[in-house]
Structure 1
Amino acid sequence: MEIKMGVSKSGIKPSKDYDILVLKFRPSVYSLVLTQNSLAAAPVIYDRMVSQMTDKISAIVVNSGNANAATGEEGLENAQRMAELTEDLLGIPENQSLVFSTGVIGVQLPMEKVESGIKEACENLRELDLELAARAISTTDSFPKFYRFEGNLNGKKYSIIGIAKGAGMIHPNMATMLAYIFTDVKIEKDLLDRIMKVVVERSFNSIDVDGCESTNDSFLLIATGENDIEVNEENKTAFAKDILHVATELAKMIVKDGEGATKLIQINVHNASTKEEAKKVGESIALSNLFKTAMFGNDPNWGRILSAIGQLHLDIDFSRVKLYIGDFLIYSGHPVDFDRKKTVEYLKENREVTIEIYLERGDSDWTYYTCDLTYKYVEINAEYTT
């Protein structure tokens, strides 16, 4: 894919690392999902307006280190200025760029630094480096998050690439995360939007670190149309599965990098009466601080899992429920005499663990991802602005 990248160090981040990213590409169909938090950041408000006016974009500009959230009219003007400056410098039409910000809430952007950084990035475009691009949008992330995938439709190969950031304030809808996925297929916007709706629910809207929504969450899916493969009603399912794969891998990286986390936890809910019920069950467990702290302590305290399900008041018959931690059957309608020592060893020895819940009341499944809750999470967030 012909995607050009510019980065710069404008001095917004305390670390003085890269904090401006500009991506330029051919006019492309896109689908955009933004936070549902009522305290939407200025770039979110701006992007909502732009997305109602245009079906194609040619660039994005991102700053990290400052969320430009809760900044009033001045913040909105600054977001618009970022987009307009990027369009002017790249020579692209008005309203063909989107702007994103991430970082501390409630601080006005230092626009002199931001404008200088955008100019430097736009004047020094180069071939896309996914790792560097991911680094430029990071805040408290401990590693850059990026992914490449080669798909196959009707015997022809096509590409999907993606970057993301996020480590804290992770909970739908969506999370304090930014994610950008590009593919080179041809597709109509209406179909891309429909696929996006499915993908986001099964990926970025099925993760949790700390139960906290953010103000800047954004997921952008872009189809450049450079490949002669066309996605249509006949092959849309295969294409959607590939996009979901990439989105899920990026989402898992975010959870794995949960601030202070030592474990990625995959919660698989089986045999629910509906998909909505399955998701609610997975989410309730993922949100339980008691469960998450038990996982940090390598404690197979299954009562915390069942109580998290019970608090949903779904009239579940727990005499039929089965619960596994890894391959160990822990509960089967009643307490099971499981090998506690080996179960504890499983939790201690694995950075990725699975929880399997069988509700035995239908045919619907859902997978939810979370992480453990540790001392380090408290330390990071207690000292975030100090």
Structure 2
Amino acid sequence: MNIKMGIAKAGIKPSGDYDILVLKFKPSVYSVVLTQNSLAAAPVIYDRMIASMTDKISSIVINSGNANAATGEKGLENTEKMANIVAENFDIDSEQVMVFSTGIIGVQLPMEKVEKGINEACNNMQDLDLKKASTAIMTTDSFPKYYETTGEIDGKQFVIRGIAKGAGMIHPNMATMLAYIFTDVKIDKWLLDKTTKLVAERSFNSIDVDGCESTNDSFLVVATGESDVEINDTNRTYFAKKLLEVATELAKMIVKDGEGATKLIQINIHQARDNKEAKKIAEAIALSNLFKTAMFGNDPNWGRILSAVGQLHLDIDFNKVDLYLGEFLLYSGKPNQFDREKAVEYLKINKEITIDLYFGRGDGNWTYYTCDLSYKYVEINAEYTT
């Protein structure tokens, strides 16, 4: 897959780390899912406009350290200028460029630094290096997030590669994050749009760190069509599963890196009335600060889990509910006798925790990822400006 990248240290981040990333590829079909936050950042507004105008793009530019959110008309002008700088460097139409930003809200971009950084990145293009690219888009992240896989259809291979960022303000729709996935398959835009939406629901729209929805959330999938694999009605399910694999792994990394998090918690809902209900239940548990603090304290307090479900008023018969923490059956229509010391030890020694609930009322299922809520989270966000 012939994707080129350029990175630069423009001086947007106080740390002096890489803060500009430019990616260049052949004109390609794409699908983008953007935040539903009413305080949408300038690049989100701009990208919505681009998405309404063109079915193909050939470049993206990302800055980290400044969200360019709540910046008014000047913010929109600066976003458009970023696209124009890239377009001029590559001699392409600016409508083929999407722009993304992440960082502090309510501060205008230092455009002199941004312009210099974009020009530097465009003049030093190299083959895509997932680790380097993901490093350039980090803000409060403690590690770069990237993942790739391959698939095979009719004896022909295809590739899916992705990068992401995100650590705090994580909550659908989507999670506070940027994520970019690239594949070399041939696929019609309508089918890519449909697949991307489904994948987003099961991955980036099914994670939570702190219940705070961001102004800049963006998930982009680009299909360059460089391979001999063509996605159609007969193989689209397989392709969707491979795309979901990459998105889910990136989403889990975001949750693992939740500010101050010590545990990744997987909440599996089984036998709900339908998938919609299953997701609603999983999200209620994931959003419960009482549950999340119990997990941080290594407390197998099943009451906090069931009370989060009960507050949804879904007319659930709790006499039919089974609740597992790992392999420990904590509740089965009534409090179950379990080895509390071993359950506490399970929470202490494992960085990845599994919760399973069975409701016996249908075939709905959903998986949601969250993390614990620690002292460190409060410290980080008490000292963060805007």
Q: TM-score range by the shorter chain?
A: over 0.9
Task: Quote the residue 2:165 is aligned against.
Answer: 165
Q: Note the alpha carbon deviations across 1:115-157, whole angstroms, 9 max, x for none.
A: 0000000000011110010000000000000001011112211
Q: What SS does structure 1 have at the residue aligned with 2:262?
A: coil
Q: Note the alpha carbon deviations across 1:344-386, whole angstroms, 9 max, x for none.
A: 0000000001000001100111000000000110111111129
1:90 offset after TM fit, Å? 1.3
Task: Quote the residue 1:289 is aligned against.
Answer: 289
Matches within 5 A, 1:364-375: 364-375=364-375
Matches within 5 A, 1:318-333: 318-333=318-333
Task: Quote the residue 2:12 is aligned against.
Answer: 12
Task: Quote the residue 2:37 is aligned against.
Answer: 37
Supply the distance in 2 between the matched residues of 1:153 and 1:144 (Cα, whole angstroms): 30
1:68 offset after TM fit, Å? 0.1
Supply the distance in 2 between the matched residues of 1:187 and 1:375 (Cα, whole angstroms): 46
Task: Quote the residue 1:47 is aligned against.
Answer: 47
Matches within 5 A, 1:186-265: 186-265=186-265
Supply the distance in 1 between the matched residues of 2:176 and 2:335 (Cα, whole angstroms): 38
1:336 is aligned to 2:336: yes
Supply the distance in 2 between the matched residues of 1:67 and 1:292 (Cα, whole angstroms): 28
Aligned partner of 1:128: which letter? L
Matches within 5 A, 1:70-89: 70-89=70-89
Task: Quote the residue 1:351 is aligned against.
Answer: 351
1:197 offset after TM fit, Å? 1.1
Supply the distance in 2 between the matched residues of 1:384 and 1:9 (Cα, whole angstroms): 22
Task: Quote the residue 2:304 is aligned against.
Answer: 304
Supply the distance in 1 between the matched residues of 2:237 and 2:30 (Cα, whole angstroms): 18
Supply the distance in 2 between the matched residues of 1:151 and 1:376 (Cα, whole angstroms): 40
Aligned partner of 2:374: which letter? T
1:63 is aligned to 2:63: yes
Supply the distance in 2 between the matched residues of 1:159 and 1:376 (Cα, whole angstroms): 38
1:94 offset after TM fit, Å? 2.8
Q: Is the 8 A contact 2:156 2:228 kept in 1?
A: no
1:81 offset after TM fit, Å? 0.4
1:300 offset after TM fit, Å? 0.2
Task: Quote the residue 1:362 is aligned against.
Answer: 362
Q: What SS does structure 1 have at the residue aligned with 2:237?
A: helix
1:276 offset after TM fit, Å? 0.4
Q: Could you list the runs of 5+ residues in structure 2 that have no partner in the other structure?
A: none
Q: Is the 8 A contact 2:21 2:121 kept in 1?
A: yes
Count of residue pairs the alignment pairs up: 386
Q: Note the alpha carbon deviations across 1:174-221, whole angstroms, 9 max, x for none.
A: 122000000000000000001011100000000000000000000000
Q: Normalising by structure 1, what TM-score?
A: 0.99
Q: What SS does structure 2 have at the residue aligned with 1:52?
A: helix
Q: What SS does structure 2 have at the residue aligned with 1:16?
A: coil
Q: What SS does structure 2 have at the residue aligned with 1:95?
A: helix
Task: Quote the residue 1:90 is aligned against.
Answer: 90
Supply the distance in 1 between the matched residues of 2:188 and 2:42 (Cα, whole angstroms): 29
1:289 offset after TM fit, Å? 0.2
Supply the distance in 1 between the matched residues of 2:29 and 2:356 (Cα, whole angstroms): 39
Q: CA RMSD, aligned part only?
A: 0.7
Q: Note the alpha carbon deviations across 1:220-241, whole angstroms, 9 max, x for none.
A: 0000000011000110000000
Q: Normalising by structure 2, what TM-score?
A: 0.99
Supply the distance in 2 between the matched residues of 1:246 and 1:156 (Cα, whole angstroms): 19
